[in-house]
Amino acid sequence: MNRRKFLKQSSIISLGLLACPSLSSAFSLGANNDVIIGHNSHKYKVDLTWGNLNPLHTPVNDCHEMIQDSKGRIVLLTNHTKNNVIIYDKSGKLLETWGTDYPGAHGLTLVKENGEDFLLITDYERHQIIKTTIDGKVVFTIEYPAETGKYTTKDDFKPTETAVTENGDIYVTDGYGKQYILHYNHKGELLNFFGGSGTEDGQFLNAHGICYDNRNPQNPSLLVSARELNVLKRFDLQGNFIESFNVPGALICRPVIHKKDIYFAVLRSKSAINSDSGFILIMNENNEVVSCPGATSPSYQNNKLNELYQTVRLFQHPHDVCIDDDENMYVAQWNSGKTYPIKLTRV
């Protein structure tokens, strides 16, 4: 059976999931509560009821990103301006909400300074990066980088993500704009920029996400997802290209490092017949893909990763993952019928 026919059949029979706001009903009763997805050492039990709220009181639109704060709470960013930030405990209980001013809320990064938590929010409609306290008070904003000479107006700048180093330096991906990576100090003053649109090693098509990789403290680096290229790229902190890792078929969102592994939400499968064809991808410390919950089991041929694609109609445009201190995963989704995050319990 060829892949196209397989995907068409799997979309009908696997899990019985529908792309609608009542997605959780498919798992509400019966054996589906014990569905396990994933491969090798990274397998998960699916929970579609975690964090579900009353949409009349606490609505979401696109659920873009999630982090866990220093208190162990799960913080969700949505672009619904009734409550841009929704804070849960790990059981999925609502603790608080805030934010009405971020229509393009997209990127969410935790910053720890002197024992205090802060957030960096990228808003591509406001064309800004906003630093806030954990309860929403604005500390400062970073405007469009006119001083680079690459931007004529603020409308050229549509940031998608940030990463922060130990000394407080901030790196910003202009993933929906001109594809540059902007390097700022902790005060929001521009130090450097690199990248730009293109297919060369140091360039990007949709520089969607970035993270600071200090798994080797003697040689820290930056990981940047070039989503439309199906490539993860590594740079030094000055913006020099080091290496890249192909993930054929996977439109990867931001890299999320937890312990030694890298986790990604994959927005969609490149060759799938349906657009809501995403899954999760996990790399180990050797940059090998070891598990793809919701997709094909990763395999290599002649040291090259075979193309990945969705096999289970569970995820609808997954956009970010958050790994908690118990190794469980929370999946935020874009364009998913205003659904709340999915929890994957590590087994």
Q: Could you count the other beta carbons within 10 Å of the beta carbon of residue 186?
A: 14
- Tokens representing 91? 């059981």
Q: How far does CA 112 lie from the centroid of its chain?
A: 20
* Distance (Å, whole) CA 204 – CA 211: 15
Cβ atoms of 43 and 310 within 8 Å: the answer is no
DSSP secondary structure, 288-321, as one string: -EEE-TTBPPP-EETTEEPPP-B-STT-SSEEEE
Q: According to the model, what pLDDT value does residue 273 have? A: 85
* Distance (Å, whole) CA 55 – CA 207: 32
* Distance (Å, whole) CA 306 – CA 295: 12
Q: According to the model, what pLDDT value does residue 227 have? A: 98
Cβ atoms of 290 and 282 within 8 Å: the answer is yes
Alpha helices (H) in the chain, listed in sequence order: 3-13
Q: According to the model, what pLDDT value does residue 33 have? A: 62
Q: According to the model, what pLDDT value does residue 17 have? A: 40
Rg (CA), the chain: 19
Cβ atoms of 321 and 66 within 8 Å: the answer is yes
Amino acid, single-letter form, for residue 169: D
* Distance (Å, whole) CA 225 – CA 232: 5
Nearest to 244 by CA among 255, 258, 257: 255
Q: According to the model, what pLDDT value does residue 126 have? A: 98
* Distance (Å, whole) CA 90 – CA 28: 20
The parts of the chain modelled with pLDDT lower than 70 are 1-33
Nearest to 343 by CA among 50, 146, 23, 73: 50
Expressed in angstroms, the distance from the first to the final Cα of the chain is 31
Span 283-317, pLDDT tens digits: 999 999 999 999 999 999 999 999 999 999 999 99
Q: According to the model, what pLDDT value does residue 34 have? A: 84
- Tokens representing 85? 């930030």
Task: Please give the model's pTM, rounded to 2 decimal places.
Answer: 0.91
Query: What H or E segment, with its residue span, contains residue 124?
Result: none
Cβ atoms of 46 and 27 within 8 Å: the answer is yes
At residue 312, what are phi and psi to the nearest 5 degrees? -125, 125
CA distances from 102 to 55, 57, 80, 298 (A): 18, 18, 8, 38
CA within 13 Å, CB half, 140: 9
Question: Which residue, chain included where needed, has tokens 């009349």?
Answer: 56
**Fold held by 3-346:** Neuraminidase (2.120.10)
Amino acid, single-letter form, for residue 287: N
